[in-house]
Structure 1
Amino acid sequence: MEPVLRVENIQKYYGNKGNITKAIDNISFSVAPGEYIGIMGASGSGKTTLLNCISTIDSVTSGHIIIGGRDITTLGTKSLSRFRREQLGFIFQDFNLLDTLTTYENIALALTILKQPAHQIDAKVKAVAQQLAITSVLNKYPYQMSGGQKQRVASARAIITNPSLILADEPTGALDSKSARMLLECFETLNDQLQATILMVTHDAFTASYCKRILFIKDGKIFNELVRGDRSRKEFFNRIIEVVTMLGGDNGNVL
Structure 2
Amino acid sequence: MDKEILKVMNIQKFYGSRGNVTKAINNISFTVVEGEYVAIMGASGSGKTTLLNCISTIDSVTSGNILIGNEDITKFKDKKLAKFRREELGFIFQDFNLLDTLNAYENIALALTICKINAEIIDKRVKEVAMKLNITDVLYKFPYEMSGGQKQRVASARALISNPKLILADEPTGSLDSKSAKMLLESLVNLNEQLNATIMMVTHDAFSASYAKRILFIKDGNLFNELIRGKDSRKEFFNKIIEVVTLLGGDQRDVF
Normalised by the length of structure 2, the TM-score is 0.96
User: What's 1:32 paired with?
Assistant: 33
**Which letter maps to 1:188?**
V
User: What's 1:231 paired with?
Assistant: 232
- Counterpart secondary structure, 1:4: strand
Partners of 2:198 and 2:233 lie apart in 1 by 21
User: What's 2:101 paired with?
Assistant: 100
**Which letter maps to 2:239?**
N
Mapped pair 1:142 → 2:143: yes
- The CA deviation at 1:134 is 2.1
- Counterpart secondary structure, 1:193: helix
User: What's 1:185 paired with?
Assistant: 186
Q: How many residues align?
A: 255
User: What's 2:121 paired with?
Assistant: 120
Once the two structures are superposed, what CA deviation does each residue of 1:33-52 show, in whole Å capped at 9, x if it has no partner?
A: 10000000000000000000
**Which letter maps to 2:224?**
F
- Counterpart secondary structure, 2:13: strand
- The CA deviation at 1:182 is 1.6
User: What's 1:153 paired with?
Assistant: 154
**For the Cα contact (< 8 Å) 2:205–2:254, is it kept in 1?**
no
- The CA deviation at 1:144 is 2.6
- Counterpart secondary structure, 2:144: helix
Partners of 1:2 and 1:184 lie apart in 2 by 25
Once the two structures are superposed, what CA deviation does each residue of 1:114-162 show, in whole Å capped at 9, x if it has no partner?
A: 2222122112112212222222321222233333322221111001110
User: Aligned ranges for residues 70-109 of structure 1 at < 5 Å?
Assistant: 70-109=71-110
- The CA deviation at 1:253 is 2.5
User: What's 2:165 paired with?
Assistant: 164
Larger displacement relative to structure 2 (111-120 or 218-227): 111-120
**Which letter maps to 1:25?**
N
User: What's 2:206 paired with?
Assistant: 205
Distance 1:48 1:151, change over 3 A: same
Mapped pair 1:7 → 2:14: no
Once the two structures are superposed, what CA deviation does each residue of 1:23-82 show, in whole Å capped at 9, x if it has no partner?
A: 000000000010000000000000000000000000000000000100000000001011
Structural RMSD (CA): 1.2
Partners of 2:118 and 2:75 lie apart in 1 by 32
Unmatched segments (≥5 aa) in structure 1: none
- Counterpart secondary structure, 1:49: helix
Normalised by the length of structure 1, the TM-score is 0.96
- The CA deviation at 1:254 is 4.3
**For the Cα contact (< 8 Å) 1:148–1:175, is it kept in 2?**
no
